[in-house]
Amino acid sequence: MRGFDRAYSFGFYEGPLRKLIHLFKYSGMKPLGKRLADFLCRALPDEEVEGFDAVVPMPLHWRRRWRRGFNQSKILARLVAKNRCVSMLDAVKRVRATAVQAGLTNSNRRKNVAGAFRVFNKTQVAGKRILLIDDVMTTGATAAACASALKRAGAASVTLLTLARVDRRLAPLESTAMKRSASEEKQR
């Protein structure tokens, strides 16, 4: 089963955008959500704006959500859904805790998230064009696993929208930064 059909990102996971994402995600600066959601809306091409039936946030495992205090993707998804006048569906659950992806090879990332997502109410997504929201895409393994769960549940299409994506040409530099982010997340 293929993952997502298309993917759009506002920018690269570097510089000021990376700092904003870290403040939002790791420092709990939830008011940044509105500005970041505006970035997400600007990243969608004009022809895609009307093409979705529902917005779905990337789910966090309950333990990680409890430690952080919120799901950053859910905040962003709610704001994007409101902006686009479509429903936000909490359709996917992360049914298994996974290791932090930072520092894993592409192959190990896919193995790490395999079977981690499930849609319990398939009628919510059946036949719908889904806009899946996440903050950062590195290799796309997590998004692909989540999108596959949505498609197994009957979603017609899944488009991924992220604030940032890792520039694979900078992968060695980003790997160090991602490991540092993972370490910050564990300490919280």
Alpha-carbon dihedral angle through residues 13, 16, 20, 26, given to the nearest 10 degrees: 70
Q: How far is CA 46 from CA 5, 19, 41, 144, in A?
A: 17, 27, 10, 24
Helix (H, G, I), strand (E, B) or coil at 27: coil
Mean pLDDT throughout 111-136?
89
pLDDT, position 22: 93
Please give the model's pTM, rounded to 2 decimal places: 0.85
pLDDT, position 19: 96
What is the pLDDT of the chain when averaged over all its residues? 85
pLDDT digits (tens, 9 = 90+) for 39-70: 999 998 877 767 899 999 999 888 888 888 88
Q: For residue 32, what are its two tokens? A: 């940044």
Fold of 6-187: Rossmann fold (3.40.50)
- pLDDT of 175 strictly over 80: no
The percentage of the chain sitting over the pLDDT mark of 70, rounded to a whole number, equals 85
User: How many CB atoms neighbour CB 66 within 10 A?
Assistant: 10
Q: How far apart are the first and last CA of the chain?
A: 35
Confirm if 159 and 5 have CB atoms less than 8 A apart: yes
pLDDT, position 55: 95
The one-letter amino acid code at 123 reads: T
Mean pLDDT throughout 2-22?
92
* CA–CA distance, 69 with 59 (Å, rounded to integer): 13
* CA–CA distance, 70 with 72 (Å, rounded to integer): 6
- pLDDT of 38 strictly over 90: yes
pLDDT, position 169: 63
pLDDT bucket at 174, cuts 50 / 70 / 90: very low
pLDDT, position 32: 95
Q: What residue spans define the domains of the chain?
A: 6-187
